[in-house]
Chains A and B, each alone.
Chain A
Amino acid sequence: DVKVTQSSRYLVKRTGEKVFLECVQDMDHENMFWYRQDPGLGLRLIYFSYDVKMKEKGDIPEGYSVSREKKERFSLILESASTNQTSMYLCASSPPQTGTWETQYFGPGTRLLVL
């Protein structure tokens, strides 16, 4: 079974703090994704990566950055956390054939509260 793990289930941070969210997958997937999920808005793509050291902006990249130094790990960074970044953050991974006959595999999510 594909396993995608996220470093924390719950996080509480202060405004202005630098926040790191870590995601690790164990299936040697090339593609990795970061989403945020807010009530009534569904999942929105923040950043994604098709390979090590590669990154692409999603629909809502402002206020975020990412790092992919190793194939299995994809980190989301909030440079200076703000209250409007309070949300559920979901990481996903997929093999190269995603978008045709392959799906994405999701981690359990990190619920972040910024005070």
Chain B
Amino acid sequence: EVQLVESGGGLVQPGGSLRLSCAVSGFTFSSFAMSWVRQVPGKGLEWVSSIRGSGDHTYFADSVKGRFTISRDNSKNMLYLQMNSLRAEDTAVYYCAKDLGLLLYYFDFWGQGTLVTVSS
């Protein structure tokens, strides 16, 4: 059974940092791209970042480029999102999501989400 479990969300002040983690099981982790997608409560979905299976290529939305870093540890089946210089508009539920393939931007499995709140 495929499982994705996010952790690391919480309350952080503007300008602060937070690292999200996603523990994965149930599939060959290194064979699939992974992504982070966020959702402001009550609003729509926004793609944040993706990383290829080998971890050698990463991609970011313009809204987070230069502030967020995505990484993965294939030996531990873990996905990470390092978020720096956080802003109020980064407040959202952050989902990690498995790609259907190498990097198709089709997300066939999702975690339950972790809430990040940026506020003073």
A, B from the same assembly: no
